[in-house]
Structure 1
Amino acid sequence: MTDTPKLIHSMIRIRDEGRSLDFYRKAFGLEIADRLDFETFTLIYLSNAASGFELELTVNKSQSEAYDLGNGYGHIAFSVADLDATHARIAAEGLAPKDIKELAHSSGGKARFFFIEDPDGYKIEVLQRGWRFQ
């Protein structure tokens, strides 16, 4: 393939811009990379220095009720160098991370992780950097 596709962002729909920006800044150090306002919606691109990948928050201006997340959405994931310290920091921010879990694979690899939910109920996995989670 001469032009290899590059993964650049993932989009989620949110209701409260301020609440979501505060959550993603406190939990993951994401800041606004760009904000594009249109008549009926706003696109907000969040990123940090660790990756070129962005999280796109879409604010539909007419949306007042919670979104139906359905049963198809899984989660987005962040990797961190120190899972225990990140868990403690997020808990100190009052963001209610779930307990740290460990999952071992027959290959010898293992994942240490916890989940947290953003203000709209989207699940986010936070993984200890290592094995295949760089």
Structure 2
Amino acid sequence: MAKMLHSMIRVSNLDSSLQFYHDLFDLEVKRQIEFEQFSLTYLGNHACDFELELTYNYAQQAPYELGNGYGHLALGVDDLAMVWEKASKLGYAPMDIKALYNQAQLVAKFFFIRDPDGYHIEVIERNATFG
């Protein structure tokens, strides 16, 4: 059986990205591998083994083109309102909190936010569907 290990995104400013993911989701650097032209930084926390890989290409000058194929990365939190408030106070401009229902049954409470490179991050309050 296969095991999900990590998802990778390219970042234009490693320090800004590290700050964003630490500030809002308590993701810490688990390991970092330096190469001549780029670095790979793996972020994670005690909640699960899955990691976010930040690839930082030293010579990249232009912003990355995110395209229209990528959707979003989703992170589950215990207190959605608290994370929204924190993101707002830190100037990260979270979108409004929304609720998704299916036949009057709550499926999810969530909001979207963009990381420093413009990647969409969905922040979902943990529940029976999204543990």
Asked if TM exceeds 0.5, the reply is yes
Task: Find runs of 4+ consecutive structure 1 residues off by over 6 angstroms.
Answer: none
Aligned to 1:72: 69
State the partner residue of 2:49.
52
Partner Cα separation in structure 1 for residue 45 and residue 104 of structure 2: 32
Partner of 1:99: 96
Aligned equivalents of 2:76 and 2:46: distance in 1?
13
Q: 1:33 aligns with which of 20, 30, 33?
A: 30
Q: Are 2:125 and 1:128 equivalent residues in the alignment?
A: yes
How much does 1:108 deviate? 2.8
| 1:109 Cα deviation after fit | 4.1
SS of the aligned residue for 1:130 comes to coil
Contact 1:111-1:131 within 8 A present in 2 as well: no
Q: CA RMSD in A?
A: 1.2
Q: CA deviation at 1:6?
A: 0.6
Identity, % of aligned pairs?
48
Secondary structure in 2 aligned to 1:85?
A: helix
Q: Is 1:21 matched up with 2:21?
A: no
TM-score, scaled relative to structure 1: 0.93
Q: Summarize deviations over 1:76-110 as a string: whole Å, max 9, x none.
A: 01111111111112212221111001111248342
- Which residue of structure 1 lines up, in the alignment, with residue 107 of structure 2? 110
- Give yes or no for contact 1:109–1:131 (8 Å, CA) kept in 2: no
What is the count of residue pairs matched by the alignment? 131
Per-residue CA distance 1:47-82 (angstroms, 9 max, x = gap): 111111100000111211100000001000111111
Structure 2 runs not aligned, ≥5 long: none
